[in-house]
Amino acid sequence: MARSLSELTQGYEQTVEEVVGHGVFHEDCSEMVIVRDIEFYSLCEHHLLPFYGRVHVGYIPDGKIIGLSKIPRIVDVFARRLQVQERMTADIAGAIQEVLAPKGVGVIAYAHHLCMMMRGVQKQNSSAMTSCLLGCFRDDARTRSEFLGLVPNA
């Protein structure tokens, strides 16, 4: 059990800087970049029960891009901690913002929470959706609409 818990919370042992490494590149690109359907598994910090789902991450570069495989690694840094979905979503967006300083970032997370399914309210078909929109994803309705139209609803 100790080894399992250590693996499930390995995000505490990692930093965004470590997982990104040399994966940021200068590029004159200004079109939206989206990595969809990044699966994740996390543990609810309130009940120590799993929650799991998918994350969609988009950004609009401003002179820098990130290696596509680095985005799921950033998701795992935050998902592999005792967590709440709301904070995890904001942390992922904040990390992309800090690493790239893009024109905007959007993160959408969909998850099933065993703390809602197995105990308490016991609603097996429920799910939660959270979002964090920064920069032009928050301020520009057209950019926000484009992003939300390109990511799946669940």
Catalytic one among 56, 83, 85, 132?
85
51 has which bridge partners?
42, 113
Task: Let me know if 45 is a catalytic residue.
Answer: yes
Q: Beta-carbon neighbour count of residue 89 at 10 Å?
A: 23
Residue-wise DSSP of 110-122: EEEEHHHHTSTT-
Catalytic one among 29, 97, 112, 115?
115
d(CA 110, CA 108): 7
Catalytic one among 44, 56, 132, 136?
44
Catalytic one among 47, 97, 112, 146?
47
Task: Let me know if 47 is a catalytic residue.
Answer: yes
Structure tokens at 128: 């939660």
Residue pair 109/146 in contact by the 8 Å Cβ criterion: no
Catalytic one among 13, 18, 45, 98?
45
Catalytic one among 83, 113, 132, 136?
113
Radius of gyration of the chain measured on its C-alpha atoms: 16
Task: Let me know if 136 is a catalytic residue.
Answer: no
Catalytic residue numbers, as ranges:
44-47, 85, 113, 115
